[in-house]
Every structure is written in C-alpha cells, then in structure tokens.
A and B are shown apart, each in its own frame.
Chain A
C-alpha cells in the first residue's frame, strides 16, 4: 500500500506544480464540445450520449500520451522498475493519479457538456455515472498503449491506433448504459465487470510494457 500511495502522492504533487498540463484534458474536452456544437448547429440537440462518450475517448487518448514520457526521460521510470517490489501497486498508483487528473474531471464535466449541447440537463445523470465507471477502464487501456510507445518519440496518433480498437466494448456498453433503453441495466453490469477486469489485469500489462521499454 505504501508503494501505491508514494506513487500517487508523487504524481499528484507534480500535477499541482504543473497545473496547466493537468488542465489540458479538461480544456480539450470543452473545446471539442464547442466544436461539436458549432459543427452540428441545431442538430446538436438530437445527439445522444454517444457523442460525449466519443469526445471523452479522444480526450483520454490525448491525455495518456505523455503519461510515462517525462519519467522515461529523467530516469524515474527505470528507478521505479528496479525498486518497486512488487511493481503492481506502483503502476496502480500511477493509473489512479492519471484517472484523478484526466478521467474524473471529464466525468464531472459531462453534465455541463450535455447542457451546452441540449440546452437542458436531461440524461446528464446516467451519462455522468457511466463515465465514472468507464473512464478508469479507458485510463487503464490507454496506459498500456502509452507504456508500449514510451521512448519512441511518436505522438498521440500511434497511441490512438493502438488503443482505440480496444475501446470498442467500453464505448458500446458505456453508451448503452447511459441510454434509457432496453438493456441499460445489463450494459451497466458489463461496464462494472470490465472495470474490475481492467483494474486487476491491466497493471500487469502496463508493467510488462514498461519493462520492455527499458530493455537494453
């Protein structure tokens, strides 16, 4: 546990000192909502929760891009791999910090996005709830991609290609759960199951990908 909290504390401390970078995903999300509203004009009112979910996916991928880059460059990543025994809580701490900075704010801001697009708050609560369940899964999946691409110098496009196909189930069940339609309860259940699966298995994949990135 102490490893988990040490990592969480460290990443949050860095985020507080570099507030503007931490705020980027939020600003991006609002910007995307703005562009969607302008691009669709009056049609924006007919959009379902799917539109906001898709924006959240994009914001998530962009936020994950730099997740390990600085740690890789200054050597903290190799220290983490050499020291943390086991690696799992350290990676989980990193994921938790990442979700608090880039996942939770999106879920929290989603009612605002609904308000902008529809002019009312109808459907905001289930959307916010499903984003709360879904964004940790997205964070875990995108961390795998970020760990695989760390040190390549390639940006978000590569990361998006690697992890977006894996987002398909999260999007499908997330949108399904946010809609007041048949199968919403089932989709919520699936989302919760995927959350548990992601949190228990993804840190292993992230750890493995990180140690691969430091070979040679």
Chain B
C-alpha cells in the first residue's frame, strides 16, 4: 500500500478543563472517506481544524504528506470580490496555476455561471456555499477536509456535493468530512469516527 495522505496518531484536545476527544487515530489514503460524527459541541470542528493545522493538538502526532483543501464554517470568500477572483486568490496562495477555463467550468458545474461576476456580498447564503465549494472542483489537492459541507444547500446542491466526493474518491483522492447527514450516498464509508462517547 502506498503512503497515506494523512496520519493522526493519538491526538487529543482539551478546551479549558473539558476534554473534547482523547487518543484519536485517523488515517486517510487514496479513495478513503472518513466521516466524523457527533453531537453539537463534541469537537468535530475542532478536530478538523486541528487536522488542517489551524491549531496544535495537546498530545499525539499529526503527519500530512499531501496538499489539502480545508472548507470550514466560514466560506473563505471576500465579500467585495467576485467568486472567480476569490478562487484565483485561493489557488495562487498555494502556488497553483490558475486555469481560466477550468474556473469557468467549475462555475457552470456549481450553477453559478450567472453570478460569476457579481460580488460575493450580493450572493445568497446557498450561492455563497456553492461558490466556496467551487474551489474543490479546480483544486489539485488530493485531500479534502470538509466541515459540514451540506449547510445551506438545496437538494440539488446536496446531490452535487455527494457526486463531487464520489468523483474525488474515484480519482484517488481522500475526504475527511464532519457531517450529520450521509455524504457517501450509495458508496461505502471507509471509516466512521464518532465523537463524544
């Protein structure tokens, strides 16, 4: 087997005096989908932010061997920029070349071709979410860390996310996803991690 994309060994997190999770092991390699489940406040977002390197786990070791996309609660879109300008910036930050046609195709795929040149401030909550997801289509990162990707999406949007995840896995990518809903659609989930037990 090849080297996994991400390995977390024995990670734990304590906020103030409350222990959110302890000695968690997560491995994600090509084709994997890891679903993180748990009630509100069980530490799903904290775990994902930790995996993305936004904070340091109190114990354990985290190794990432590939580039990754992180999509959190906040969309990461400047409201005075258009979705296309935002995606350009996101890609450039990671030295990825911007392919104009690929970005256009992503806009069309997410149903945003009419709104591609409008400022993000004028988009609806669902459209903003779609604009945030568009980066997944153009990104060349093999690992996706998604925090509640279905929030604010309509049924067709939910379907679209499921298809994106399935395609990404089929092409050898890995997804780690915190969610209440079912992301895997008909396919199987590689691992399921339940927090707060």
Q: Answer whether A and B touch in the complex at a CB cut-off of 8 Å.
A: yes
Residues of chain A touching chain B, judged by Cβ–Cβ distance below 8 Å, are: 2-3, 6-7, 10, 13-14, 17-18, 70-71, 73-76, 78-85, 90, 211, 214-216
Find out whether the CB atom of A216 lies under 8 angstroms from the CB atom of B49.
yes
Name 28 interchain pairs, CB-CB below 8 A, sorted by A. A3-B92, A3-B93, A6-B89, A6-B92, A6-B93, A13-B81, A14-B78, A75-B74, A75-B75, A76-B76, A76-B78, A76-B89, A78-B49, A78-B72, A78-B76, A79-B90, A80-B93, A82-B53, A82-B54, A82-B70, A83-B94, A211-B54, A214-B49, A214-B54, A214-B55, A215-B54, A216-B15, A216-B46
Contacts of A83 on B, CB cut-off 8 Å? 90, 93-94
Contacts of B49 on A, CB cut-off 8 Å? 78, 214, 216
Of A2, A71, A85, A215, which contacts B55 at CB under 8 A?
A215
Q: Does B79 contact A (CB under 8 A)?
A: yes
Chain A: minimal CB distance from B67 (Å) = 9
- Count chain A CB atoms within 10 A of each CB in B72, B77, B92, B94 and give the residue with the most: B92
Contacts of B81 on A, CB cut-off 8 Å? 10, 13-14, 17
Q: For chain B, which range describes its interface: under 10, 10 to 19, 20 to 34, or 35 or more residues?
A: 20 to 34
Contacts of A84 on B, CB cut-off 8 Å? 93-94
Of B56, B68, B76, B92, which contacts A2 at CB under 8 A?
B92
- B47-85 vs A, CB cutoff 8 Å, 1 = contact: the mask equals 001001111100000000000101011111111110001
Q: Determine the distance from Cα of A74 to Cα of B128 in the docked complex, in whole angstroms.
A: 11
Q: Does B95 contact A (CB under 8 A)?
A: yes
Q: Determine the distance from Cα of A211 to Cα of B55 in the docked complex, in whole angstroms.
A: 8
Chain B: minimal CB distance from A209 (Å) = 14
Besides A10-B78, A90-B93, A216-B55, 18 more A-B contacts (Cβ < 8 Å) are A2-B92, A2-B95, A10-B81, A10-B85, A10-B89, A13-B85, A14-B81, A74-B75, A75-B73, A75-B77, A78-B76, A79-B70, A82-B68, A83-B93, A214-B55, A215-B55, A216-B46, A216-B49
Q: A10-B89, A215-B55 are in contact. Are A74 and B15 (CB under 8 A)?
A: no
Q: Which 5 A-B pairs have the closest CB atoms?
A: A75-B74, A6-B92, A83-B93, A79-B76, A75-B76
Q: Determine the distance from Cα of A214 to Cα of B119 in the docked complex, in whole angstroms.
A: 26
Q: Determine the distance from Cα of A6 to Cα of B68 in the docked complex, in whole angstroms.
A: 19
> DSSP class of A's interface residues: helix, strand, loop or mixed?
helix
Q: Determine the distance from Cα of A211 to Cα of B85 in the docked complex, in whole angstroms.
A: 24
Q: Determine the distance from Cα of A54 to Cα of B81 in the docked complex, in whole angstroms.
A: 35
Find out whether the CB atom of B52 lies under 8 angstroms from the CB atom of A82.
yes
Residues of chain B touching chain A, judged by Cβ–Cβ distance below 8 Å, are: 15, 46, 49, 52-56, 68, 70, 72-81, 85, 88-90, 92-95, 119
Of A17, A76, A80, A215, which contacts B77 at CB under 8 A?
A76
> Which chain A residue shows the least CB distance to B128?
A74
Q: Determine the distance from Cα of A154 to Cα of B20 in the docked complex, in whole angstroms.
A: 29
Q: Determine the distance from Cα of A75 to Cα of B94 in the docked complex, in whole angstroms.
A: 16
Find out whether the CB atom of A78 lies under 8 angstroms from the CB atom of B74.
yes
Find out whether the CB atom of B80 lies under 8 angstroms from the CB atom of A18.
yes
Contacts of B72 on A, CB cut-off 8 Å? 75, 78
Q: Determine the distance from Cα of A81 to Cα of B46 in the docked complex, in whole angstroms.
A: 16
Contacts of A6 on B, CB cut-off 8 Å? 88-89, 92-93
Contacts of B52 on A, CB cut-off 8 Å? 82
Find out whether the CB atom of A81 lies under 8 angstroms from the CB atom of B54.
yes
Find out whether the CB atom of A74 lies under 8 angstroms from the CB atom of B95.
no
> Which chain A residue shows the least CB distance to B120?
A74
Q: Determine the distance from Cα of A78 to Cα of B46 in the docked complex, in whole angstroms.
A: 13
Q: Determine the distance from Cα of A98 to Cα of B68 in the docked complex, in whole angstroms.
A: 29
Find out whether the CB atom of B74 lies under 8 angstroms from the CB atom of A73.
yes
- Count chain B CB atoms within 10 A of each CB in A76, A80, A82, A211 and give the residue with the most: A82
Q: A14-B81, A211-B54, A216-B49 are in contact. Are A3 and B95 (CB under 8 A)?
A: yes
Chain A: minimal CB distance from B70 (Å) = 5
